[in-house]
Amino acid sequence: MAWVFIEEAETGPAAVGLEILTKAREFGSPTVIYFGAGSEAAFATLGEYGADRVFHLAPTEGSTGIAAAAAAIAGLASEHNPDVILFGQTYTDRDVAGRLSSRIGKTIISNGIDVAIDGGVGVTTELFGGTQLVTTMFEGDGPHLVLLRPKSFPAEPSGGAAPTVTTVALPDTGHAGAARVVGNFVEESQGPKLEEAAVIVAGGRGLGSAEAFGLVERLAAPLKAATGATRAIVDAGWVPYAKQVGQTGKTVKPDVYIACGISGAMQHLVGMKDSKIIIAINKDEEAPIFGVADLGVVGDVHQVLPKLIEALENR
């Protein structure tokens, strides 16, 4: 029996949660731990993706609710004994899973791209930029805790009915639960979302300057593409973190990924190497990005991009 932890995003259950819920159906009727304000519509969506039962944990106003959620899940798990509790490799999921792990004395396997329950619980992870696949088995009794990377499974509705929802009170965890949210800031973003776009144009340090990211944006416009970035230029402050693709950013699988001035470090490759078609522009013939590109153009982005933009704008 698998449980799936799902955080509430702006518009209902987080996308990665529905991906994992789809996968969890292979192990019987899944139970969802839903973390957020909750609504009839959100619970109906969970049912549509196969949740049979939902434990609803709603953080109190102002509190992050993380320590309390971990304590509540520990209580539920000792009562119901799930084999595994699956989480997404995301910020809040990592926070809750980490605390839960210590609380129930069970380790976590992170960065999973697949999970199997077959006698024991096995998790597949990628190593060395996705060139090696590692299978790790848990030892001892469950519940075993697994963090799975976004986009590891497609999210597909099963057409299930509304689930049984039980609201679970969040316990007082004293000092451990003292983190409070006192403000929030949302960066402006226009155009298609990175995770959903069919085409992504991404830029790296090879652009040379923050201003030159404008070339990436101008190329994205006629392609209705989302724009992405490497960590190097996010850390340099050229673009916001929300655009970062890779191990510590987003995982994307568009139809076409155009990498401009990106070297192809393994931490970047793990986030985009499963794109259908990869096109790379880099002035260094030896750049590792060419090892995964379907089309590589050895050239200067300041030469190639303006001509490419012009050609597309004139179509």
Partner 1 sequence: MKVAVCVKQIPDPASPYELDPSTHNLVRPNEQVLDDTDRYGVEVGLQIAGDTEGTVTLISMGPSGNLNGIRQALAMGADGAILIDDEALKGSDSLTTARILAAAIATESFDIVIAGTESTDGYSGILPQQLAELLDVPALTYAKKIDVDGSTVRINRQTTTGFDTVEAPTPVVVSVTAGVVEPRYPTFKGIMDAKKKPVDTRTVSDLGVDIKVDQRIVMVVPAPSRSGGEVVIDEGDGHQKIVAMLEQAKVI
Ligand X SMILES: Cc1cc2nc3c(=O)[nH]c(=O)nc-3n(C[C@H](O)[C@H](O)[C@H](O)COP(=O)(O)OP(=O)(O)OC[C@H]3O[C@@H](n4cnc5c(N)ncnc54)[C@H](O)[C@@H]3O)c2cc1C
Residue 70 touches which of ligand X, partner 1, none (CB < 5 to 8 A by kind)?
A: partner 1
Q: Which of 232, 256, 280, 293 binds ligand X (CB under 6 A)?
A: 232
How far apart (Å, rounded) are the C-alpha atoms in residues 271 and 247? 6
DSSP letters, 60-93, are: -TTB--HHHHHHHHHHHHHHH--SEEEEESSHHH
How far apart (Å, rounded) are the C-alpha atoms in residues 93 and 81? 20
Using the minimum distance from each CB to partner 1, give the nearer residue, 98 or 171.
98
Structure tokens at 128: 């060395």
Using the minimum distance from each CB to partner 1, give the nearer residue, 28 or 191.
191
How far apart (Å, rounded) are the C-alpha atoms in residues 176 and 112? 28
Q: Does 127 bind partner 1 (CB under 8 A)?
A: yes
Dihedral Cα 41, 45, 20, 80, nearest 10 deg: 80
Q: Does 11 bind partner 1 (CB under 8 A)?
A: no
Q: Which three-class secondary structure state does DSSP give residue 189?
A: coil
Residue 139 touches which of partner 1, ligand X, none (CB < 5 to 8 A by kind)?
A: partner 1
Using the minimum distance from each CB to ligand X, give the nearer residue, 54 or 309.
309
What contacts 313, CB < 8 A, 6 or more positions away?
Answer: 222
Q: Does 251 bind ligand X (CB under 6 A)?
A: no
Of 33-41, 43-51, 151-159, 179-187: span binding partner 1 (CB under 8 A): 179-187
Q: Does 117 bind partner 1 (CB under 8 A)?
A: no
> Which residues are near ligand X by CB under 6 A?
204-206, 208, 230-233, 244-249, 261-263, 265, 267-268, 271, 281-284, 287, 300-302
